[in-house]
């Protein structure tokens, strides 16, 4: 065989190897990206469950005379804001996820204030409907935490895969971008102060 034929054969084999490696990497990136989309859909599902419970909770609380109207208005407005915040699963950038998390955080704070105020109304705490809704909300908050954790694990797998060599080359070529994570809420790193005076 001539030297030029050997060189062409080596170059052809190297190109063939690159094509097979690229196909495998691309398919793995697609699979991992779909896993992040699926995990995101589950996160949205549990947040939607919470949004669906809120009107029933507000209506139950409204039935109690003299309940603080501002607290109810805050919850209704925070729910409306959270409902409007949509994130496309294909664009789960850190910035988009922070915006989503901020709107959901406002709703969580409003619900927290509602529950604190509700403690001041014994007739409300004795209502079976309120107790059931409160229990369902607590369960939903636990589901949200679990799904956020699962989502972060799947995103970590995806992000680390697309940043490894040689996948980082293919990710850049095919447009696979890093996804964002859920982070702890601001102030969560500080333990609350408890005072017994």
pLDDT tens digits for range 138-193: 999 999 999 999 999 999 999 999 999 989 999 999 999 999 998 876 544 444 44
**Residue 196 has what pLDDT?**
31
Instruction: Find, among 149, 171, 147, the residue nearest to 159 by Cα.
Output: 171
28-41 tens-digit pLDDT? 999 999 999 999 99
**Residue 185 has what pLDDT?**
62
**Residue 191 has what pLDDT?**
41
Domain membership of residue 156 as a residue range:
41-83+92-174
Domain for residue 3, yes or no?
A: no
Domain for residue 14, yes or no?
A: no
Do 155 and 179 form a contact (C-beta atoms < 8 A)?
yes
- At 154, which CATH number? 1.20.1440.20
Per-residue burial over 47-84, b = 16 or more CB atoms within 10 Å of its CB, e = otherwise: beebbebbeebbebbeebeebbeebbebbeebbeebee
Domain for residue 96, yes or no?
A: yes
Q: Does 63 have pLDDT greater than 80?
A: no
68-117 tens-digit pLDDT? 788 888 998 999 999 888 888 888 888 888 899 999 999 999 998 888 88
> In this predicted structure, which of 60-69, 121-130, 134-143 has the lowest mean pLDDT?
60-69
Which tokens in the block code for residue 43?
A: 């996160």
Which tokens in the block code for residue 190?
A: 């500080």
Domain for residue 112, yes or no?
A: yes
Domain for residue 190, yes or no?
A: no
Domain for residue 128, yes or no?
A: yes
Domain for residue 50, yes or no?
A: yes
**Residue 1 has what pLDDT?**
65
**Residue 192 has what pLDDT?**
42
Domain for residue 17, yes or no?
A: no
Number of domains in the chain: 1
């Amino acid at each position: 065989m001539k030297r030029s034929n050997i060189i062409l054969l080596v170059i052809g084999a190297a190109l063939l190897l690159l094509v097979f490696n690229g196909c495998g990497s691309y398919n793995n990136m697609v699979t991992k990206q779909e896993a992040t989309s699926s995990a995101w859909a589950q996160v949205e599902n549990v947040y939607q469950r919470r949004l669906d419970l809120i009107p029933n909770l507000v209506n139950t609380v409204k039935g109690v005379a003299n309940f603080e109207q501002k607290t109810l208005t805050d919850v209704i407005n925070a729910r409306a804001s959270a409902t409007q915040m949509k994130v496309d699963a294909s664009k789960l950038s850190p910035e988009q996820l922070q915006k989503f998390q901020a709107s959901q955080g406002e709703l969580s704070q409003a619900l927290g204030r509602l529950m604190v105020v509700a403690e001041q109304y014994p007739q409300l705490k004795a209502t079976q409907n309120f107790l059931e809704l409160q229990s369902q909300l607590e369960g939903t908050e636990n589901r949200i935490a679990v799904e956020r954790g699962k989502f972060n694990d799947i995103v970590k797998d995806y992000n680390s895969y697309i940043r490894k060599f040689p996948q980082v080359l293919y990710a850049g070529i095919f447009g696979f971008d890093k996804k964002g994570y859920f982070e702890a809420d601001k102030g969560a790193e500080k333990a609350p102060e408890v005072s017994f005076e």
